[in-house]
């Protein structure tokens, strides 16, 4: 922890350029406030009847958890009326979200997964919120699908919130990656991890190897390389939680690669491009790493639908580059 106390509000304010109007800065405040509310509820989930299923499926066909519904509603209600957004898109909603006509529109677009890893909720495993921010492409601020379906390279900010042993908010606006830990006594996010960079050599690889038989030969060979079975010794340990934010966060701090390959029954992958893969790809590049779908950089992919899926390999560039080399030989 730094010697001087630096709240997220102070850090954001001091980091913005002199010409900034404050709209983007205040949007980050809104997201931080939503994170505090969600953190409070997740920390008391077993005591306030918010564990378990909500009794309905989301647009992905996945059974919604009660906390999924709560988190989605909180992010939406923290951001719909502020005059900073013209559109949003959420994992939990089928179409993109236009700001209600009764509210002033802003020049930004928010895409988010309100609660990643929600299948882990009932067993008290770390979960998280992922978000990405674009500028609108429609300067009439009407909020159109074109504002939402932008490649990750156009993001102006991205981040995630990890709800675990402590609550952390990690974000970037293109000037490095910075992490803030929620002090529950003060109710403030305090700067705890400035200028995060992926360490070398990396320590971990994260993949669900039970799906090995469903992967392409190139991915199978890559896993054997990670395990040191290809005449090499990368000296990596295996760690896999099954919560994207938690696995990514550990590898960001310790170095490593997270893999969710395409499978024979899921050729397009499982993770969502717009509000899962792209925001984390933005962060990892800011931290000196790289993210790919196996053929091209995640940030270069132009989405054709809100809930488009993608394979994902993300982490230290040395490890991800090796994966692309194996797939080029297929």
What pLDDT is recorded for position 67?
86
- On the question of pLDDT at 61 being above 70, the answer is no
Pick the CATH number of 204-328 from 3.20.20.70, 3.40.190.80, 3.30.300.30, 3.90.79.10: 3.40.190.80
- On the question of pLDDT at 60 being above 60, the answer is no
Its sign, for the CA torsion 136, 138, 139, 143, is: negative
CA end-to-end span of the chain: 47
112 compared with 329, residue with greater pLDDT: 112
Q: Report the percentage of the chain scoring pLDDT > 70.
A: 91
Angle at 205 between CA 68 and CA 294, to 5 degrees: 80
d(CA 199, CA 221): 25
**Mean pLDDT of the 234-251 span:** 95
CATH superfamily name and code, 8-193: Fructose-1,6-Bisphosphatase, subunit A, domain 1 (3.30.540.10)
pLDDT, tens digit (0-9, with 9 covering 90-100), for 140-170: 888 999 999 999 999 999 999 999 989 999 9
- On the question of pLDDT at 70 being above 80, the answer is yes
172 compared with 139, residue with greater pLDDT: 172
222 and 212 Cβ atoms separated by less than 8 Å: no
d(CA 147, CA 278): 15
Sort strands 312-315 and 256-260 into parallel, antiparallel or unpaired. antiparallel
Centre a 10 Å sphere on the Cβ of residue 186 and count the other Cβ atoms it contains. Answer: 10
d(CA 20, CA 18): 6
Average pLDDT over the chain reads 91
What pLDDT is recorded for position 240?
96
282 and 152 Cβ atoms separated by less than 8 Å: yes
| pLDDT bucket at 20, cuts 50 / 70 / 90 | low
H or E stretch including 128? Answer: strand 127-135
pLDDT, tens digit (0-9, with 9 covering 90-100), for 248-273: 999 999 999 999 999 999 999 999 99
What pLDDT is recorded for position 65?
67
d(CA 80, CA 294): 36
- On the question of pLDDT at 71 being above 60, the answer is yes
Angle at 111 between CA 299 and CA 317, to 5 degrees: 25
| pLDDT bucket at 285, cuts 50 / 70 / 90 | very high
DSSP per-residue letters across 49-70: T--SEEEEE-TTSPEEEHHHHH
> How do the domains of the chain map onto residue ranges?
8-193, 204-328
| pLDDT bucket at 199, cuts 50 / 70 / 90 | very high
| pLDDT bucket at 118, cuts 50 / 70 / 90 | confident
d(CA 299, CA 281): 7
**Mean pLDDT of the 58-75 span:** 75
Which residue has 């090499």 as its token pair? 232
Q: Report the percentage of the chain scoring pLDDT > 90.
A: 78
- On the question of pLDDT at 42 being above 90, the answer is no
What pLDDT is recorded for position 226?
96
Closest Cα partner for 252 from 177, 290, 178, 198?
198
Can the peptide bond before residue 144 be classed as cis, meaning omega within 30 degrees of 0? no
d(CA 13, CA 25): 7
**Mean pLDDT of the 77-106 span:** 95
Compute the CA torsion angle 287, 327, 212, 68 (nearest 10 deg).
40
d(CA 152, CA 288): 16
What pLDDT is recorded for position 268?
96
Which long-range contacts (C-beta less than 8 Å, at least 24 apart) are formed by 263-268? 263/211, 263/214, 263/215, 264/214, 264/215, 265/214, 266/214, 266/309, 268/308, 268/309, 268/310, 268/311
- On the question of pLDDT at 35 being above 70, the answer is yes
d(CA 123, CA 217): 34
- On the question of pLDDT at 2 being above 50, the answer is no
């Amino acid at each position: 922890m730094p010697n001087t106390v630096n709240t997220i509000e102070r850090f954001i304010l001091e980091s913005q350029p002199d010409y900034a109007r404050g709209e983007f800065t205040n949007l980050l405040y809104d997201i931080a406030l939503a994170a505090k509310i969600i953190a409070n509820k997740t920390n008391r989930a077993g005591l306030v009847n918010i564990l378990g299923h909500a009794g309905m499926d989301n647009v992905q066909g996945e059974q919604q958890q009660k906390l999924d519904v709560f988190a989605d509603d909180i992010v939406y209600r923290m951001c719909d009326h502020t005059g900073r957004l013209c559109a949003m898109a959420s994992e939990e909603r089928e179409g993109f979200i236009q700001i209600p006509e009764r509210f002033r529109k802003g020049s930004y677009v928010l895409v988010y997964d309100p609660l990643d890893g929600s299948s882990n909720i009932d067993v008290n495993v770390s979960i998280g919120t992922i978000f990405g921010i674009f500028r609108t492409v429609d300067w009439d601020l009407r909020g159109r699908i074109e504002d939402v379906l932008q490649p990750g390279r156009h993001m102006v900010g991205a981040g995630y919130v990890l709800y675990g042993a402590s609550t952390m908010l990690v974000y970037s606006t293109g000037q490095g990656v910075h992490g803030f830990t929620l002090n529950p006594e003060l109710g403030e996010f305090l700067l705890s991890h400035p200028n995060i960079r992926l360490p070398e050599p990396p320590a971990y690889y994260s993949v669900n190897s039970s799906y090995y038989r469903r992967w392409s030969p190139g991915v199978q060979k890559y896993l054997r390389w990670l395990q040191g079975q290809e005449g090499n010794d990368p000296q990596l340990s295996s760690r896999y939680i099954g919560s994207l934010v938690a696995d990514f966060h550990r590898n960001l701090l310790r170095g490593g690669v997270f893999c969710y390959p395409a499978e024979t029954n899921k050729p397009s992958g499982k993770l969502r491009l717009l509000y899962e893969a792209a925001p984390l790809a933005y962060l990892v590049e800011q931290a000196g790493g790289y993210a790919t779908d196996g053929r091209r950089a995640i940030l270069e992919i132009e989405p054709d639908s809100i809930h488009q899926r993608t394979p994902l390999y993300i982490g230290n560039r040395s490890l991800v580059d090796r994966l692309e080399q194996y797939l080029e030989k297929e």
